[in-house]
Structure 1
Amino acid sequence: MDLNIKTNDKGHLDIGGADACELVEEYGTPIYVIDEERVRDNYNRFYNAFTKFYPKFKVFYACKANTNIAVLKILEEEGCCIDAVSPGEVYICKKMGFSGDRILFTGNNIRNDEMDYVNSEDVILNIDSVSALKRLAESIDPQGKKISFRVNPMVGAGHHGHCITGGEMSKFGIMETEAVEIYKLAKELGFEPVGMHSHIGSGILDPEPFKLAIESTMNIAGKVHQEAGIDFEFIDFGGGVGIPYTPEEELLDLEHFAEENIKLFKEKLEEFDMGEPILYLEPGRYIVGDASVILVEVNSVKESYRKFIGVDAGFNTLLRPAMYDSYHHIVVANKMNEEPTQTVDVAGNVCESGDLFARDRPLPDIEEGDILGILNAGAYGYTMASNYNSRPLPAEILVKNGESFVIREAQTFDDIFEKQSIPEHLK
């Protein structure tokens, strides 16, 4: 088990050298707490595992997982690149110092004005459809513009159906049967196609699904190389590398994962005589997922038909359990050395029956005022949060060697009102 759980000599949860209970005393609850060194360690572990077997390798962080500007700045310092899926992500990453050649933009059902904007930022454009290609050619000068295409490798994997992004049910990518003709069309329009991209899903802890995707994608790339005359500068297999969420899951053997997949990648390069294109991968969850904890306070212990532990956050703060039925490990931050004595439901404060962080969870004796830590909240925590029930969004805190910094202030009620207005006829 490796859920990045540490306990200090007070028996409290330790996050990046900081005492979780002391953080709560200073900043209140709920709060997201991010461990800077864990982000750096995760990035470097990933980068080093793959460059060991294939030096021409780049990490494009899937920033939809967590776009806090402090997190982005940490990764920019480390030399990371960016996988962006919206104009807003391009904007914020450029503001954080990422140059256009370090940002790959993969649009999905993108508007013309959005394509114009991301093109103006000189990022690498990854095209998802024939429609997008033709519309882009009409709105910009395509001569010599380097682009890539996202293909559907007809392989899907992931921890939930909503996270599977390959296969016949997927809305993403161009079909294998049209790949050669689309690359030819791109050349005819004046573009310079230099890359191929695929993505099969997220939460993957086994190299086998990835190997299937590599084989399928490389077969498509090989055919495009031979029949459309494309010499690829890069091939991108997307992200999806998972982290353990439950105590029973083991941390991915990343070196084995890298070795197995790189071996197949090299074999396919040789089979199709494709040279040595740069290999891109797009981890998001792996880099930031286990680097963050949501700290919440128990405000209600309710003996009903079940025993409910009520806390001061809900699915507006962490949507994954309600949306994906996801497991997030929960600890009692002020009682880390106590053993489970009961099975309880941990419930949020949103007015919805589905607002539960856990069902039938073994936990120690819990009293009102105790502090719970909801782990693995760094990926798709704040980025999927909302103002549902008109609740302000919590603060985000960065910790480094025990020191803490506010990297996003908590919202106020006034913030929720800020962008609204009442028409004159209603005043």
Structure 2
Amino acid sequence: MPISTSFKSRLFPVLENICDHFGTPFHIYDEQGIRETCADLKRAFAGIDEFRQYYAVKALPNPSILKIMQDEGFGFDCSSTTELMLSRQLGAKGADIMFTSNNTSQEEFLLAEQEGGCILNLDDISLVDKVPSMPELICFRYNPGTRRTGNDIIGNPTEAKYGVSHDQIIDAYRQAMARGATRFGLHTMLASNELNYSYMVQTAEMLLELVEDISAELGITFEFINIGGGLGIPYRPDQDKFDLDGMGREITTVFQDFKNKNGYMPALCMESGRFMTGPHGVLVVRAINRKDIYHTYIGVDTCMSALMRPALYGAYHHIDVLGKDESCEMETVDVVGSLCENNDKFAIQRKLPAIQDGDILIIHDTGAHGHAMGFNYNGKLRPKELMLTVKGTAELIRREERPEDYFATLDFTTDSLSL
């Protein structure tokens, strides 16, 4: 499904002016749409005693976006030290941060302990003895193995490098208790871009059943379960939206049943990224070349370094041509960039209005895993990021990369080791 009608109605009439002022290419994000999705998420889980969303920083690690999440009462899901640093620059600390790394070094653990700490979510039972100082509150990432199937993107849990196995999970908490942990959470992440909300309901059920098993064995209670992220968005026009309200109703019932049986209700945590910002961003480019050989190729002024999902996953991103629609002459084209790789394509054999040099193309749903997954192969530089604000302004929230950024790591003090 393309971006919302609301976003389109506010952006498209002013987009040519934005392009003239800032120049293309750029990602632009919709503050209003992001805040509306935040409100929808909170409303869906209002019936649970305590709910907290941790925005997956990896999806769109821009301080302006993270500040919106903070304003809405959300925390941050971090998986690296730089994501920790970015979150802490906004004042996040302690329970505001869920730190879920894997193959974590001692240096990373030490940084996690600093500046008020964070909720430490351990990915492996072997890490219990590697944590420099066991925090009071500890969480483990659970991998159910053959007890559960992952969705198409995540794949089979038995082949995933993530998480503590079912046979290890009770002993993981036992070992953490021996090192001083007294408060507990439980986490899993089994889906990515999942449009069937029942999968998430089943995940909540699975974790709550596991909580009961661990509690019976060790005599502990759990402060929260974290069902991870993975809520999907409809990239294609013929896909239905994720049924957030249906998910909220059914998970709330599951939690209420747990409370009736066990006398308490743990908090529900989630760590959605794509669902929160994905549909609220677009990549805006200009057509700069037309090539007619075996296919017709429309060359644009950026490449897959600005959006690699189509090349990496074969992912579909809807494309509009500003000022043109299906009532215009149509043609079948490949929309491509300038990278020296043949998979540098935003669309393959896509039917679009006839495109001329200078036309503005809008590539939809780039508000997550777009700019964030960029790279510098071929010396390509990532584009700027803008925000369409609720005040009705277009604001620069990250400048474009420049050659001096690319060469910055070549400015170093000479060092050598005689061997």
Structures share fold, TM-score greater than 0.5: yes
> Does residue 296 of the first structure (1) align with residue 290 of the second (2)?
no
Rate the CA distance shift 1:5–1:345 in 2: closer, same or farther, 3 A.
Answer: farther
Tell me what 1:197 maps to. 187
What CA deviation, in whole Å up to 9, does each residue of 1:130-178 have, x standing for no partner?
A: 1211101xx22x3x62111111133344453xx44x6111111101111
Cα distance in 2 for partners of 1:235, 1:49 equals 17
Q: How far did 1:415 drift? A: 1.7
What CA deviation, in whole Å up to 9, does each residue of 1:200-224 have, x standing for no partner?
A: 1210111222233223222222111
Q: How far did 1:244 drift? A: 0.8
What CA deviation, in whole Å up to 9, does each residue of 1:286-318 have, x standing for no partner?
A: 111011110011011111101111111111110
Cα distance in 2 for partners of 1:269, 1:167 equals 29
Cα distance in 1 for partners of 2:219, 2:328 equals 63
Residue of 34, 38, 44 corresponding to 1:43? 38
> Does residue 22 of the first structure (1) align with residue 17 of the second (2)?
yes
Q: Does the CA contact (< 8 Å) of 1:351 and 1:389 recur in 2? A: yes
Tell me what 1:3 maps to. 3
Q: Give SS of 1:82's match.
A: strand
Tell me what 2:332 maps to. 343
Q: Give SS of 1:328's match.
A: coil
Q: How far did 1:232 drift? A: 0.5
Q: Does the CA contact (< 8 Å) of 2:309 and 2:369 recur in 1? A: yes
Q: How far did 1:268 drift? A: 4.2
Tell me what 2:162 maps to. 172
Residue of 347, 354, 359 corresponding to 2:343? 354
Q: Does the CA contact (< 8 Å) of 2:325 and 2:353 recur in 1? A: no
Q: Does the CA contact (< 8 Å) of 1:38 and 1:291 recur in 2? A: yes
Q: Give SS of 2:409's match.
A: coil
What CA deviation, in whole Å up to 9, does each residue of 1:252-301 have, x standing for no partner?
A: 12101211233234334545x26111110111111110111100110111
Tell me what 2:106 maps to. 112
Structure 1 stretch 193-202 or stretch 262-271: which is displaced more?
262-271
What CA deviation, in whole Å up to 9, does each residue of 1:179-232 have, x standing for no partner?
A: 111111111121224100011121011122223322322222211111011210
Cα distance in 1 for partners of 2:74, 2:412 equals 45
1:251-266 matched pairs, under 5 angstroms = 251-266=241-256
1:105-254 matched pairs, under 5 angstroms = 105-121=99-115, 122-136=117-131, 139-140=132-133, 142=134, 145-154=136-145, 155-160=148-153, 163-164=154-155, 167-254=157-244
Cα distance in 2 for partners of 1:88, 1:18 equals 37
Sequence identity (%): 31
* One-letter amino acid of the structure 2 residue matched with residue 151 of structure 1: Y
Q: Does the CA contact (< 8 Å) of 1:18 and 1:404 recur in 2? A: no
Cα distance in 2 for partners of 1:68, 1:255 equals 28
Q: How far did 1:335 drift? A: 2.2
Structure 1 stretch 290-299 or stretch 144-153: which is displaced more?
144-153
Tell me what 1:10 maps to. none
Q: Does the CA contact (< 8 Å) of 1:58 and 1:80 recur in 2? A: yes
Q: Does the CA contact (< 8 Å) of 1:159 and 1:203 recur in 2? A: no
Cα distance in 2 for partners of 1:424, 1:105 equals 35
Q: Give SS of 1:83's match.
A: strand
Residue of 17, 27, 36 corresponding to 1:32? 27
Residue of 364, 373, 385 corresponding to 2:362? 373
Tell me what 1:382 maps to. 371
What CA deviation, in whole Å up to 9, does each residue of 1:320-370 have, x standing for no partner?
A: 111111110011023257446122111111110111111121101110110
Cα distance in 2 for partners of 1:289, 1:340 equals 30
Tell me what 2:97 maps to. 103
Rate the CA distance shift 1:308–1:391 in 2: closer, same or farther, 3 A.
Answer: same
* One-letter amino acid of the structure 2 residue matched with residue 87 of structure 1: T
Q: How far did 1:100 drift? A: 2.1
Rate the CA distance shift 1:115–1:290 in 2: closer, same or farther, 3 A.
Answer: same
Cα distance in 1 for partners of 2:37, 2:143 equals 28
Q: Give SS of 1:396's match.
A: strand
| Structure 2, unaligned runs of 5 or more | none
Cα distance in 1 for partners of 2:45, 2:329 equals 40
Q: Does the CA contact (< 8 Å) of 1:179 and 1:220 recur in 2? A: no
Q: How far did 1:48 drift? A: 1.0
1:258-337 matched pairs, under 5 angstroms = 258-271=248-261, 273=262, 275-336=264-325
Structure 1 stretch 332-341 or stretch 248-257: which is displaced more?
332-341
* One-letter amino acid of the structure 2 residue matched with residue 145 of structure 1: E
Structure 1 stretch 403-412 or stretch 185-194: which is displaced more?
185-194
Rate the CA distance shift 1:4–1:158 in 2: closer, same or farther, 3 A.
Answer: farther
